[in-house]
Structure 1
Amino acid sequence: MPVRQRRNPGSQTALRLSNQQRILSNLVSSGPTTQADIARNTGLSAATVSNIVKVLVDRSLVSTSPTTSSGRRAQLVSLSSTNGAVSVGIDFGRRHVRIIVATLDYRVIAEKEIEIPLGYTAAEALDIAANLLTSTLSHAGVQHSAVLGVGVGVPGPIDRRTSTVVKGAILPEWVGVTVGMMEESFQVPVHLENDANLGVLAEATWGPHAGTPTVVFVKVGTGIGAGLILNGTPYSGNIGLTGEIGHTPIYEHGLLCRCGNRGCLETVASTTIMIELLSRTRARPVRTRDIVRLVLEGDERAIRVVEEAGFAVGRSIAAIANLVNPHTIIIGGPLTDLGEMLLRPIRSGFARYAVPMIVETTQLVMSSLGERAEALGGASLVLQESGIHPTVG
């Protein structure tokens, strides 16, 4: 399930990391290969390949041995060990950074989440994440040099032409941040993606619906976005701006949305609006985890808020289903612990606005990955960009 990301090198560091990724990906897909063949396969010069191979040998990611090719002496390059290299997924949220470290055979060997203050700058978040990466790798006994790359998820649209966070992000501090800036912080190749797109990739890789050809993943959180897999391939649209269903108007005279329109889905169904509504009659502000707690405790106001939000989400999902006719629709985000309490009103809205035959033949389920989905998707993205695909779901 390839996910292609156009990269804008931007700096010598980014270019060097990109070239290292190309060589590692070639070794993953082709097996032990001579340096001359690597140069032909990647389009890099022989001198560039030779220099990068030396770096990778120093990082213990590859090993070299003498061989012959067409009757001439050559250097055979091999991956040192499939157990040594790892991929990393990092998910940035409004209040958190979550990191997952996975091996090349898709085993999670380390996972950590920390809370960060509201209103953080992108530079602060990258520093926090870089330190978290270092400490997590150290705790897992993995050297930084063994990291193939980092898949980063942010809650906002990514312009794939430049790999840049663009206007419309839930966290405006991220607008203008590029892959190159992240690679300077992490010192490894970075693959930047919208969080919902990583969510659907995680579901197709790690979840019980792996292998399902047409899937829609809808993340209901501070913002609301959708990730799509169509005919077994992640779909990102013309320039990468797919799944922005949170900015689909559903009430013509509704509240003004941050995107400039009125009555968008986010103004009636995001956790932001739920928190605002539930905080009005309480001594202290409600947080997302409080929404879950209050609903499970039977709080009537919280249940009403979630039911109305769920029905609106179901209405928007119906529009997607009527267009692409998916096999499975998966609901993710921080409210997944609500289970049927959230799914029931979503199903109701879906059934009200979708074509009856589509309602009858579409699975609508809650994510089993919970809030881990986006970080898992980031780790998957690195592996699949390197040509390493799971053998089982």
Structure 2
Amino acid sequence: MPSPTSSTRSRTKNPGSQSALRHLNQQRIIDCLRSGPSTQAELARQTGLSTATVSNIVKIMQDEGTVSTEPTTSSGRRALNVRLNGNGIVAVGIDFGRRHLRVVLASLGYHVIAEESVLLPLGHHADEGIAAAVALLDRLLEQSGVQRSALVGAGVGIPGPIDRRTGTVAQGAILPEWVGINILEHLEETLKIPVFVDNDANLGALSEVTWGPHGGICNLMFLKIGSGIGAGLILNGAPYYGSVGVTGEIGHATIHEHGLVCRCGNRGCLETIASTTTMIELLSRGENYPLAPGDIVRNALAKDPATLRVVDDAGLAVGRALGNVANLINPEVIVIGGPLAVLGELLLTPVRRGLIRHAVPVIGESTTLTMSSLGERAEALGAAALVFQHAGIRAP
């Protein structure tokens, strides 16, 4: 798969290298051990590898804490039993938002060990966000009893484009205070583990085909509706990053040519119509306090007329933009995520109406439109999956 921004070029392994071959063989052994402990001789038979190769790989995995071994007998002979360590290999998933931070710890079998979300001040700088992430990670490690040595890396989601050439946050991010900062270097210096950075919508797409119910889907689009609007793409079974890594910026598709000026400098972008920021601005008029995305959800579920109208208008605009994208890439599934995902059909209905109206009929009728079942965890879970992929570990 195309690689997101990582700390060193050496992490992108040559498919024919010894390192790549070792990772492939290690994955074969891990796949066998997922069904339960096995002796090294059994692993050799199941994988087709030589007993010497299996022994060497098991020794490396044991040193890394991925597996544990114990003496046993097999057919009357002494043997070595190998089992996966549940928390012996752990990935960190970090999701930075405009106002929030979420950190998850995930084990080898794609199980969440611990997670927590905290609020961040609006307009926070990168140093503040990173310090909060480090403090939250330390707290989760202590609470869960996971050793720092078990961490194989951290995946990090940013609400904005990442320039893969430089590893910096590009112009157009929801966090303008972070633009131009090499978040990868900052985090690796602080965390002292490998870090992989990607756009949060890309990670949302990855989470849907690893943690979510859409494993095996080769053409999927994940649309995150939040303070900004962005899309992650899985095309032909792999994440799509384009030339420099700036893809899926559907929030800046022009919907109304003479509409409001967007933060990107254009007029009438989808974000000026359908982002939660715009919805909050519309619905906060006459209120004594500023609303939050949770208020939109609560009022819509309570059938508040003004909220339902704003949600309907936003959904129709989103559907129009999706129709244009669907005409271009013909995805099998479009998943909508973000804080409004819990609205279900209240949001899906107008989105579907807009999609069908603006897509070629056969595309509109054949595209599955659904809400994310992962809720606001999707991006952090996708970040953890990103780490496992770089470690050569597939979802079960």
- What range describes the TM-score normalised by the shorter chain of this pair? 0.7 to 0.9
Pairing 1:157–2:149 present? no
Residues 107-130 of structure 1: CA distance to partner in whole angstroms, max 9, x if unpaired?
111111111221211101100000
The letter for the 2-side match of 1:375 is: A
Deviation readout 1:215-252 (Å, 9 max, x if unpaired): 01100000000001111111111111100000111111
1:334 equivalent to 2:339? Answer yes
Partner SS for 1:378: helix
Please give the residue correspondences for 1:81-96 in structure 2 after superposition, counting only pairs within 5 Å: 81=85, 83-96=87-100
Give the whole-Å Cα distance in 1 for the aligned partners of 2:175 and 2:3. Answer: 25
Q: Is the 8 A contact 2:86 2:108 kept in 1?
A: yes
1:238 to 2:233 alignment: no
User: Following the alignment from structure 1 to structure 2, what is the Cα–Cα distance between the partners of residues 125 and 259?
Assistant: 23
Q: Distance in 1 between matches of 2:153 and 2:12?
A: 10
CA contact (8 A) 2:316 2:354 kept: yes
Q: Which residue identity does 2:104 align to in structure 1?
A: I
Post-superposition CA distance 1:153-204 (Å, at most 9, x none): 0100001112211111001111122211111122111100000000000001
TM-score, normalising length from structure 2? 0.82
Residue 4 of structure 1: aligned partner: 3
Measured after TM superposition, the shift of residue 206 of structure 1 is 1.0
Contact map agreement 2:154 2:194 (CA 8 A) in 1: yes
| Residue type of the alignment partner of 2:118 | I
Q: Residue 216 of structure 1 contacts residue 326 of structure 1 at CA under 8 Å; is this kept in 2? A: yes
Q: Which moved more, 1:78-87 or 1:140-149?
A: 78-87
> For the structure 1 residues 25 and 302, does the alpha-carbon distance in structure 2 shift closer, same or farther, using more than 3 Å as the test?
farther
Give the corresponding residue for 2:224.
Answer: 219
Letter in 1 for 2:180: G
Q: Deviations over 1:35-82 (max 9, x none)?
A: xxxxxxxxxxxxxxxxxx99x95x756999xxxxxxxxxxxxx99946
Q: Which residue of 1 aligns with 2:327?
A: 322
8 Å CA contact 2:93, 2:105 repeated in 1: yes
Return the match for 1:186 from 185, 188, 191.
191
Closer, same or farther: CA 27–86 of 1 in aligned 2, 3 Å: farther
SS at match of 1:314: helix
Residue in 2 aligned with 1:264? 269
Identity value in percent: 54
Is the 8 Å Cα contact of residues 103 and 117 (structure 2) preserved in structure 1?
Answer: yes
Partner of 2:311: 306
Structure-1 residue corresponding to 2:142: 138
Determine if the alignment matches structure 1 residue 249 to structure 2 residue 254. Answer: yes
CA distance in 1, matches of 2:212, 2:66: 29
Q: From 358, 376, 384, give the equivalent of 2:389.
A: 384
Alpha-carbon distance change, 258 to 286 in structure 1, aligned in 2, over 3 angstroms = same
- After superposition, give the CA deviation of every residue in 1:276-334 in whole Å (9 maximum; x if it has no partner): 00111211111110000111111111111110000000000001100011111111110
| Separation of aligned partners in 2, 1:333 and 1:249 | 21
CA separation of 1:148/1:18 partners in 2, compared to 1, >3 Å: closer, same or farther?
farther
Matches within 5 A, 1:93-112: 93-112=97-116
Residue of structure 2 equivalent to 1:38: none
2:125 counterpart (117, 121, 124): 121
The answer to whether the 8 A contact 2:337-2:375 is kept is: yes
Tell me the CA shift for residue 30 of structure 1.
2.8
Q: SS state of the match for residue 185, structure 1?
A: helix
Shift of the 3–130 alpha-carbon distance from structure 1 to 2, 3 Å rule, reads: farther
Q: CA deviation at 1:5?
A: 3.1
TM (norm. structure 1) is 0.83
CA pair 218-342 structure 1, distance change in 2 beyond 3 A? same
Distance 1:176 1:80, change over 3 A: farther
Q: Cα 1:383–1:139, aligned 2, differ >3 Å: closer, same or farther?
A: same
**Pair 63,163 (structure 1): closer, same or farther in 2 beyond 3 Å:** farther
For structure 1, list consecutive stretches of 5 or more residues without a partner in the other structure.
33-52, 65-77
Range with greater deviation from structure 2 (252-261 or 106-115): 106-115
Distance (Å, rounded) in 2 between the aligned partners of 1:288 and 1:112: 19
CA distance in 1, matches of 2:67, 2:340: 43
SS of corresponding position for 1:101: strand
Q: Does 1:205 align with 2:210?
A: yes
Structure 1: which 4+ aligned runs deviate by more than 2 Å?
5-10, 22-32, 59-64, 78-83
From 289, 299, 302, the counterpart of 2:294: 289
Q: Compared with structure 1, are the counterparts of its residues 61 and 356 closer, same or farther at alpha carbon in structure 2 (3 Å cutoff)?
A: closer
Q: Distance in 2 between matches of 1:25 and 1:127?
A: 34
Confirm or deny: 8 A CA contact 1:196 1:219 kept in the other structure: yes
